[in-house]
Amino acid sequence: MPRCPGCFVMLTMTNYGGVNVKTCNSCFGTWISRVSLMHIVRAVEPPDAGPDTPSLKDLAALVTEGHNKRRFPCPECRQQMTIDRLHPMIPVDMQFCGKCAYVWLDVGKLAMTQRLYHALTNSTDPKIIEIRERYALASLGMEVQKERMPAIGGAAAGALGQAMRYPTPYGVGGGFDLNTLVGMLDF
Ligand SMILES: [Zn+2]
Ligand SMILES: [Zn+2]
């Protein structure tokens, strides 16, 4: 089992909505394959808002506090990871290892990414709808297909244009800040 890139303790296998993820019991970060991350974000329903579910605002506070600016070496191959975002509309920075196709998410970032994706997809706010169309949130679906069919990469992926690029360059799109977006989503 790989070790946490921040605290160096052994990661443990846990279950997140039916998907196996590796988590650190010290900092509560998550080490997950890109394919599993896409699956959770797109296909796993976020938990119903119950008394134990933190509000998006509280979750944003946790994410902001637990955010690590330092680039970590990959827990598997030791190569320096890249700080990036899953999608320009989701202002959550995560660390990617392109070689292992794995992602490191600091505490709260997996739940935040998943809940923002669902909130942005379902929002009826005209401002959100406009931005959603502009940044083609649906393109995440194509990303999943691309992950499953690496053979279509190269020219075919290039032809599909900007929306298909992965990972999305940091800071592109919306200029969102996490707290501003959470405030807009009215939770
Ligand atoms: Zn840790
Ligand atoms: Zn790696």
- Does 155 fall in a domain? yes
Contact 187, 58 (CB under 8 A): no
Neighbours of ion ligand 1 (CB under 5 A): 4, 6-7, 24, 26-27
Contacts of 167 (CB under 8 A, 6+ apart): 82, 84, 85, 86, 96
Q: How far is the CA of 24 from the centre of ligand 1 (A)?
A: 5
- Does 1 fall in a domain? no
Digits of tens for pLDDT over the chain (187 positions)?
999 999 999 999 999 988 999 999 999 999 999 999 999 998 777 766 677 788 889 999 999 999 998 999 999 999 999 998 888 788 899 999 999 999 999 999 999 999 998 888 888 888 888 877 777 665 555 454 555 444 434 333 333 333 333 333 334 344 567 888 888 786 4
Of the ligands numbered here, which is closest to the C-alpha atom of 78? 2
Structure tokens belonging to residue 70? 């330092």
Q: How far is the CA of 70 from the centre of ligand 1 (A)?
A: 13
- Does 4 fall in a domain? no
Q: How far is the CA of 122 from the centre of ligand 1 (A)?
A: 33
Contact 23, 103 (CB under 8 A): no
Distances in Å between the alpha carbon of 124 and those of 66, 90, 159, 186?
Answer: 30, 17, 31, 11
Number of domains in the chain: 1
What does the pLDDT read at residue 149? 46
Side-chain half-sphere CA neighbours of 112 within 13 A: 31
Coil/strand/helix, residue 131: helix
Give me the domain span that covers residue 115.
Answer: 12-184
Of the ligands numbered here, which is closest to the C-alpha atom of 22? 1
Q: How far is the CA of 124 from the centre of ligand 1 (A)?
A: 37
- Does 42 fall in a domain? yes
Report which secondary-structure segment, H or E, holds 135: none
